[in-house]
Every structure is written in C-alpha cells, then in structure tokens.
Amino acid sequence: MRSIAGLLLAVALTVAIVAAGFGAFNVYKGRNANPQLAGKPFASPTAPTVSVKTHPPSPAPPGPTALPVTGFGRIVVDGASRHVFVSSPRSSAIVVLDLSGHIVRTITDEPGADAMVVIGSVLYVTLTTAGAIDAIDTKKLSRIRTLTTGLVSPMDLVAAGARIWTTTGPCAHWSTQLVGVDLDSGTKHTFTLPTESLLSYCAAFAANDRTSNLILAWSMGLDPAEISVIDVSTGSPVFVLSAREERLGNLEDVAFTRDRTRFITASGAPYEFDEWNVSDLNQDGVIYPAGPYPVAVAVNANGTETMAGGLSDPNGQDVYEYAIGWPSAALQGRHTGTTGNQVYSRGLAFSVDGSSLFVLTGGQTPGSGIVTFNVIPASA
C-alpha cells in the first residue's frame, strides 16, 4: 500500500512539473513574438505600473431613427458644431442630430423650414410659409434673429460672394426672381432672371462654398433641365453660361466634386449619375451606372473622394457609391428603403470625416409617413 501511495505521489509531482514547464515555455515564446523583445534576456516578471483613464462609453450608432416630423426638406452637416440639421417644411421644424444619428433637439416654430446653409456658427434657413430667412446658432441651437422678411415662397438657399442667395415668387408661375441678402443688415437685392435660363419657372441651386463667386443653378421641374452658371462677384448676378441639357429629365440634385471644376447630376432619367464640366456645361465622359430613379447625389469632402447616389427604388439597391472619376465597379451599396419608405430627393449627405453616409427615407406623397434618418458606413 505504501509503494502504491508513493507511486501516485511521484506521478502527481511529475505532472505538476511538466505543466509548469509548458507554462514557462508559452510565456517565453510570447515575449519573443514581439520583435522589439527578441534576443533580450528573460527576466523575472514584475508587475507593471499601469495608468488607467476612464471615459464614458461612446453611444453606439442607432438603427434607423424615426424623426419627430412629417415630410423632409433638406439636410446640412456642420463640421464645426458636429451637428446634422434636417428640416421639415410640413412640420415647421428642424431636427438636430449628432454625427452618430442620435437626436439632440428639435427646433420648432420655424414656419415652412426648408433650404439651409451654414456660415460660421450660424445656420440660415428659408421659411417658405413665413416668407423669411431665420438665423440659428449652431451651438446653442436657438434662433438668433430673423434675417429678412417679405419673400414669397423662398425655395433654395446658397452662399456665394458676400451674400446668401434665395428666390422669391412661387414656382411654376414663371415669376420667380433671384434675391441676394446681405448677412449683416438683411437687406434684400432682387434681380429678374433671364428668360432663356428658364430659372423664372423654379430655380434650384447646388450647395456651394461661400468663398466661391459662382452659383450653379437649374430649372427644377422642367424636362429637359436648363443649367446655368451665375457670377455674383460684383454683387449683381451675371450669367456666364446657360445650356439646355437634353440628356437630363427631371433633374433633382447636383453636387460639386472637391476641386469644383466638375459636378455630378441625379435626374429621373437616364438611370445613372453623370459628370459634367463647370467650364462649358458639357459631359466629361464619366458615368456612374445606377438604376431607376436617381434623386440624390453627394460627394465625400474628406478621405478618399467618393460619390454617393440615391435612388427612389422600393425594390432594389437604392444607394450607390463610386470612386470619383473611376466608375469601373460600384463600391458596396445599400438597400435602405421599402415600398412606403424611399430615399428622398436631395436626401444624402456624408459625415464630416467621410466615414458615414446619412440617408433620409420616408413616404413620398404629401402628408404620408415619418421621416427616417439612416446612418450607414461609407466605403473606404
């Protein structure tokens, strides 16, 4: 009995020694897996001094966010305040979100809030049913003042030269005029649009950099589209170019490339996103294939230059993305909508760093459905 007990004790000790040996081998191998430690003598381990900083966890991006409004106007992303502004003319409100898609605040009592532009720390918004432009602090998220009044159904808004520019006069009555508004005084300067530009029917503007003196405008709602380049460097608009683009039926959205020498169009037909030269308003030959029906386009301002295009298509892929100037193959696309929840016209924007794409979807008929804010990863 004594010999058996001794044998069992010896076996147990052997197993313990072998196990300890393998443990030491694994630790040693792990150290030398780091090339900075290779060849250095193996020292007895000592407990490292660790400085731990605690941070509150970042909120995870939500799924599709239902906004507390009915109907979509425009989307603007502000890098300085890191806010996304989504307007709703029907709800007379502006929903403010963070860059992860969480609702921060809803600014109410903005009658017919529609087109928007950010200059410095101020968000300017056209009030289509109040005939005015309001100025809103992008950090305090409250109204600063009403910049100007007396506009009739102001539609679009763009910054160019020393002013912001909008329209006065209802669409589809051939009475629309161009209005330049001084940012300090709010004084309006009204100009009659040339008949040949067709902008007096209903004028829309491509989003612009305030440092530019050019406005790219088109006749919203006409088929084919008429596109114009307007120089406002002197304070009075001068039409540099105007061309009827027979290829573009029902032009919905336009986005400049980063160098601002080209622009990309989203129109109901053809089923693609076409690239054009600002210098002569001719196509440059680059075509980004898609499907029916293109309604929105955006260009990434940071990182790899890509374009994103949105379709009003309830059954298939409705968000396309391509490398600018290289449409040999589409980057990863998405399907965000449903039969009753489709991409809105002019409802795309990239995040500040270009890592995300914001897509606005919802019901397309007046008064129908809730607006949905989608955050999806942009292609690298």
Q: What pLDDT digit, counting tens, does each position of 288-328 carry?
A: 999 999 999 999 988 889 999 999 987 778 999 999 999 98
Cα 180-182-187 angle, rounded to 5 deg: 85
Which amino acid, one-letter code, is at 183?
Answer: L
What's the pLDDT tens digit per position in 54-92? Answer: 334 444 455 689 999 999 999 999 999 999 999 999 999
d(Cα 206, Cα 252) in Å, to the nearest integer? 10
pLDDT at position 23, please? Answer: 37
- The encoded tokens of residue 18 equal 């072998």
Mean pLDDT in residue range 29-53: 32
Under 8 Å between Cβ of 81 and 98: no
pLDDT at position 17, please? Answer: 36
Q: Per CATH, which fold does 72-150 belong to?
A: Thrombin, subunit H (2.40.10)
β-sheet with 65-66: strand ranges across:
65-66, 372-377, 356-362, 342-350
What's the pLDDT tens digit per position in 92-115? Answer: 999 999 999 999 999 999 999 999
Q: Who's near 321: CB < 8 A, 6+ residues apart?
A: 306, 307, 308, 309, 330, 331, 332, 333, 357, 378, 379
pLDDT at position 184, please? Answer: 95
Mean pLDDT in residue range 154-171: 96
Please state, for a pLDDT cut of 90, what percent of the chain lies above it.
72
Report the relative pairing of strands 188-191 and 372-377 from DSSP bridges: unpaired
Question: Three-class SS of residue 356?
Answer: strand
Bridge partners (DSSP) of residue 273 are 266, 288
d(Cα 126, Cα 311) in Å, to the nearest integer? 26
pLDDT at position 341, please? Answer: 80
Q: Who's near 112: CB < 8 A, 6+ residues apart?
A: 89, 92, 126, 127, 128, 129, 130
Which amino acid, one-letter code, is at 180?
Answer: G
Mean pLDDT in residue range 222-232: 95
Bridge partners (DSSP) of residue 255 are 264
pLDDT at position 90, please? Answer: 94
Q: Where along the chain do its domains lie?
A: 72-150, 156-246, 253-380
**Residue 119's closest CA among 64, 161, 169?**
161
pLDDT at position 330, please? Answer: 78
Under 8 Å between Cβ of 252 and 292: no
Average pLDDT value over all residues in the chain: 84
Q: Does pLDDT of 30 surpass 80?
A: no
253-380 in CATH: which number?
2.130.10.10
pLDDT band at 51, cuts 50/70/90?
very low
d(Cα 156, Cα 253) in Å, to the nearest integer? 12
- The encoded tokens of residue 65 equal 């966010």
Q: Does pLDDT of 149 surpass 90?
A: yes
- Cβ of 366: how many Cβ atoms within 10 Å? 8
DSSP label at residue 295: E
Mean pLDDT in residue range 140-148: 97
- The encoded tokens of residue 238 equal 């001068």
- The encoded tokens of residue 41 equal 């003598």
What's the pLDDT tens digit per position in 331-366? Answer: 866 767 666 689 999 999 999 999 999 999 998 766
pLDDT at position 337, please? Answer: 61
- The encoded tokens of residue 361 equal 């979807």
Under 8 Å between Cβ of 112 and 129: yes
